[in-house]
Structure 1
């Protein structure tokens, strides 16, 4: 049964990945999306950890800045056509439905496309969702370190007509006030469903 659930979640998680003819990077092989999904589903390795990035105002931020609050951490990019804005919208709705308890939750959006997602673009993007949504970016190495800590699959993919997109897994990670991993929501999770998981943690 659990294997069937894992397969279903993997299918949903990879819904934003496109068939692409050419990979733009020639770095050492990394674990596949399926391998990273296996790590998350079966808790084979720690998830989360330190990061050092910059927010949409250019201020240096680390994971320690958000201690004392539960975190909803999402990795994506501002040019993502569908799943990223959909999931960020649901995060926004969850915060609205939480009412005063929303102050106990900090949403973070970490770009996987720092080449295009500069501070101004990040500021405009996160402002379209929720005033408390923080957009985080860094150089390629800093972003890769954060993504690897959260077991995020992503890679740059050249498009046939020019330009590129970023294939990536899409999970919303729930972290406790001490930065410990509590679990993830697969892409497409509704705000109401998130609340059934988040509210009990806030009550503890």
Structure 2
């Protein structure tokens, strides 16, 4: 399976799981599209500065959550560039609302993505992106709770680098950690910003 096909399939998988687990009906006009979906929840992970952080540390803030890994050759950098550019645009147009958004990058490759590695990586996209990692078990639990599928692929050569297929999805969670909306990652920065402006109150 090529990487683009894998990411597209996993993105659709996550959306279907979110809707099925939440038993959602079509949201009334004006309601967030993920209202009632069962995604997210409590977590404790290690931040890129080495401190332990929990979901409660972000209470009262919107959370922009993206799962990926720093060795990702193209998809993750593309999506993080959209997140970074979109946040900058939002900050310029409405700094007060933008300040209520905490972007989170959660690694699905904790074996290689140590806190210092993640810190260097996310700094290239936006200064407020907080990189998170943890043990294999911690990451697996958080990914499962957020309807994220990921799978490490065998290296092309023994001992060589490997890829991690994972759901490609950017999800906005509300101030109480409730799922709000899936933000577009492939429709350009303008579409991304429009969704932030629509749902961040």
* Aligned partner (choices 93, 96, 111) of residue 107 of structure 2: 111
Q: Counterparts of 1:8-23 in structure 2 under 5 Å?
A: 15=4, 17=6
Q: CA deviation at 1:79?
A: 0.3
Q: CA deviation at 1:69?
A: 1.1
Q: CA deviation at 1:16?
A: 6.0
Counterpart check, 1:102 vs 2:98: yes
* Aligned partner (choices 84, 87, 91) of residue 92 of structure 1: 84
Match of 1:24 in 2: none
Q: Residues 94 and 191 of structure 1 are in contact (CA less than 8 Å); yes or no, is this contact kept in structure 2?
A: yes
Q: CA deviation at 1:160?
A: 2.2
Match of 2:46 in 1: 54
TM-score of the superposed pair, with normalisation by structure 2 = 0.81
Q: Residues 185 and 192 of structure 2 are in contact (CA less than 8 Å); yes or no, is this contact kept in structure 1?
A: no
Q: How many residues align?
A: 177
Counterpart check, 1:125 vs 2:121: yes
TM-score of the superposed pair, with normalisation by structure 1 = 0.80
CA distance in 2, matches of 1:16, 1:168: 11
Aligned alpha-carbon RMSD (Å): 2.0
Gaps of 5+ in 2: 24-36
Q: Residues 14 and 167 of structure 2 are in contact (CA less than 8 Å); yes or no, is this contact kept in structure 1?
A: no
